[in-house]
Amino acid sequence: MPGGMRRRALAARRHSSTPAPPGNSVGRAAFLSAAPVRGTPGFLQGGPQAARPVTPVQPAGSGIRAFLYVAASFNFVAAALVVVLVRVAPHALGIEPMRGGQLFYADLVALLVAGFGVGYALAGRDLARYWTFLALGAALKSGVALLVLAYFAAGQSALLIVLLAAGDFCFAVLFVLILRRLRAS
């Protein structure tokens, strides 16, 4: 044990009524009950404040919860549409028919979209705990909308994809509004 830590632990032991275990000159109880070291983060000092995470948003009301479940459903439907339409009607998406390895990437995108749907459902259940899904979702949904808009302007994307991306953009704006409204003071 470094010198400074040992001195503090010994000083804490002198003021503690807990005897040191045999073979240990400092004692675990005395070390853990030592006064906090200046500059040590609160979670390293132990105690009740370490168990409570700082939450930047307040809990959501029933209307916001219902909206987040709708957002989750939107993602599940969008993921299912990608999986089905890529195989059955790729022209509806504005793409050429895909084969083996290319289908893997379409399925991977659908899996990620559905995964965010699960995140929105979790946020609907406990927004104070899962608010990060909304923050990340707002950023990524805005990125999807911009990407699709660029592809549509270049003639590389179908109207169906643009409509789904417009829905994504609306959800992104609403996610930001929710997080701003429920920001903890």
State pLDDT tens for residues 33-45. Answer: 445 555 545 555 5
Cα 50 from Cα 41, distance rounded (Å) = 9
Residues in the chain, total: 185
DSSP 3-state percent helix, strand, coil across the chain (nearest 5): 70, 0, 30
Q: 30 pLDDT exceeds 50?
A: no
Judge whether 33 and 12 are in contact, CB under 8 Å: yes
Read off the pLDDT band of 115 (50, 70, 90): very high
Q: Give residue 164's identity as a one-letter amino acid code.
A: L
Cα 168 from Cα 90, distance rounded (Å) = 21
Question: 45: Cβ–Cβ under 8 A, 6 or more apart, which residues?
Answer: 36
Looking at per-residue pLDDT, the higher value among 74 and 101 belongs to 74
Q: Please give the pLDDT value at position 152.
A: 92
What's this model's pTM, rounded to 2 decimal places? 0.66
Read off the pLDDT band of 4 (50, 70, 90): low
How many percent of the chain have pLDDT more than 70?
69
Read off the pLDDT band of 182 (50, 70, 90): confident
Cβ-count burial 16-40 (b if 16+ within 10 Å, e if not): beeebeeeeebbebbbeebeeeeee
Cα 179 from Cα 160, distance rounded (Å) = 29
